Amino acid sequence: MAPEVPAITTERDLRLDLFRGLALWLIFLDHIPSNIVSWITIRNYGFSDATEIFIFISGYTAAFVYGRAMQERGLVVASARILKRVWQIYVAHIFLLMIYLAEISYVAQGFENPLYAEEMKILEFFQQPDVTIIQAMLLKFKPVNMDVLPLYIILLLLFPPILWLLQRKATLALAGSVVVYALVWEFNWNLRAYPSGTWFFNPFAWQLLFVFGAWCALGGADRLGRVIRSPVTMVIAIVYLIFAFAVTMTWHFPRTAIYMPNWLAEIIYPISKTNLDVLRFAHFLALAALVIRFLPRDWAGLKSAWLKPAILCGEHSLEIFCLGVFLAFAGHFAMVEISSKVVMQVIISVLGIAAMIATAWLLTWYKNAEGRGPGGRRKIAQADLAGGEA
């Protein structure tokens, strides 16, 4: 008897694009050091941040795009499409890295400030450029803010067999992901980085969030629907968010740390971002539960002009993410060399997001123009980090 393959909807969920776009804006703001505008980002008010949103949605959209291809054309063709996208993202990462290194090197030498190279962790590039470039091509050398794309490359590279299993034994696939996550904490599995240390985003740990997103896309979200809508779940989610808020306030205001019981601190600390701490994962789940409960898929506001800029950025996540990395360092440079006043920080943040919106609009315009066929009909693009078309 053939396994029951979950049906995959072809209707685009604008909430994914909206929150992916918002996550890109938050990542940009968080990447600018000492930026007062970053106080609006969620990392200051709980355990998780925009990275969890980004990786979860990436897993969801990867299953959405390539799951249907695997159903219609089989494992080999779907795997080939995934590997093609891996190559495209890898090329984008290397291209961004070269521009990023050139940007930092030019600023460091032009303004005679070697601290830029040290702060952005590219000293090895100046000392051993030949070795460093090779290590960068192997995804081992990653300057500051260049960790997300290598993580996604590894996750997508390993995705074909996971997707195949998700479509046949979804619970088994998710359980296997949980087992790998648990083994990471038991045996400290991670990949080596250059010149020392390990990956900042441990792919063996972060795969759990990616696989969970894919599991939700392939019917898991529907199976959890009753649980998510339960009043008990809402109360637990709200209480946990309040708890996380109270804990993070002790980080920002040290005087309040006296209210943190020692026994509790010993239990929860350290809250590892590298290994996707359980507290971070739970915080993301609490936020997601509230979003699903109070922001339905058919909410009319998703088509409003106010949310369109974020949705456009979410539709072009790869390009906008790369642009955000470049703009974040440019903003940091402006704050160091020109002014670090609050007004300057606000101007840099607003101009950066405006540049991201303008780029997304331009990319959409190009895609619409290229997608028009002889009969005037336009393809509906599924433009996201996963790639493909809806």
Residue pLDDT, tens place only, 241-299: 999 999 999 999 988 888 899 999 999 999 999 999 999 999 999 999 999 999 988 89
Q: With helix as H, strand as E and coil as C, how does 164-228 read? A: HHHCCCHHHHHHHHHHHHHHHHHHCCCCECECCCECCCCHHHHHHHHHHHHHHHHHHHHHCHHHH
Residue pLDDT, tens place only, 200-240: 999 999 999 999 999 999 999 889 888 988 999 999 999 99
Of 254 and 360, the structure prediction assigns the larger pLDDT to 360
What whole-number distance in Å separates Cα of residue 28 and Cα of residue 23?
A: 9
Judged against a pLDDT cut of 70, whether residue 380 lies above it is answered with no
Q: With helix as H, strand as E and coil as C, how does 13-66 read? A: CHHHHHHHHHHHHHHHHHHCCCCHHHHHCHHHCCCCCHHHHHHHHHHHHHHHHH
Judged against a pLDDT cut of 60, whether residue 384 lies above it is answered with no
What is the pTM for the complete model shown? 0.92
Q: Which sign, positive or negative, has the C-alpha torsion 338, 341, 347, 348?
A: positive
Determine what percent of the chain is predicted with pLDDT higher than 90: 77
In this structure, the number of other CB atoms found within 10 A of the CB of residue 254 comes to 8
* Mean pLDDT (the chain, rounded): 90
Q: How confident is the model at residue 108 (pLDDT cuts 50, 70, 90)?
A: confident
- The DSSP symbol for 153 reads H
Cβ distance 381 to 369 under 8 Å? no
- What was the pLDDT predicted at 374? 44
Amino acid (1-letter code) at residue 65: V
Q: How confident is the model at residue 312 (pLDDT cuts 50, 70, 90)?
A: very high
Amino acid (1-letter code) at residue 129: P
Please give the helix or strand (H or E) that residue 390 lies within, else none.
none
